[in-house]
Structure 1
Amino acid sequence: MLIMVCGSIGYGGIDDIRRIYTFLDTKGFDIVDHIVGKGKDYSDIKDFRNKKELSQQIVNHDLEYVKKADVLVVLASMPSYGAAIEMFVAKNSGKKIILLAKDPVPTPWSINFSDYVVTTVEELIKLLWDLKKGVTY
């Protein structure tokens, strides 16, 4: 079971994504890491308006990783256009979507497109182990 972690990069959430990837890796999960060590950290770019080609490269890169993943873990700590579209694409491809929402979520969209909503990393780990064993609920 391959896991991809999605969340805001452009609005400052890349460290959270990296932490979750590292944590999942240390817990023995297989990850499809689309950021760490891949040169795809664009968090320092503050304006993409004149970067159409780079935008296409990043989007295509990320969507290739969505295709490879079996499960998306989406961090709900801050809004992200990219994570929302990745959720939509993954959901329409039959992938499982887990929303990690430590705080209240003021929008129905991310809830609607999630198969599961967890509020702690501990809940996330338990759910991932269950999914890996074939247990669904």
Structure 2
Amino acid sequence: MGKPDFIEIKGVTYCGDSKASNLTMSNVPWHEEVVKFVQEFANELPDYEIAAEHEHSNCILLAHKKFKINNEWWTWIDYPKFHTLVARYTGSGGQMTFTAEDYMAKTPNWAVFGATEQGFDPKETRYFRKNAKKDIAGC
């Protein structure tokens, strides 16, 4: 069985309209349903936990527990470090290898599963629809 570092589970990825399918946005699960599914799935994977979520994208991230250090998640990428490691790898002719743990960065508090922001960066401006009717999109 594979042991990926991360498993991303999304409720939907919009791919445009298609006359070949009768699926609509009404077929998309609500974020709460995706969370419930992922919680049940995670219960079957002892080496993984729910690390992060992005409610607006209807997306949950399961991470291998090796990315939970001192009870904090490190699921983000330190891009400058990553590029340095790639340059070293290339310069060594592939002899100097590295893993995701070598360039991991701390997950921001607002992105950690269970945060009140539900993965929405508080520095960003979130816009809500003005009409009060419920969005049937599910996400």
Q: Same fold judged by TM-score > 0.5?
A: no
TM-score of Structure 1 vs Structure 2, range by shorter chain: under 0.3
Q: Which TM-score applies when normalising by structure 1?
A: 0.27
Task: Give the structure with the larger strand fraction.
Answer: 2
**Computing the radius of gyration over CA atoms, which structure comes out larger, 1 or 2?**
2
Structure having the higher helix fraction is 1
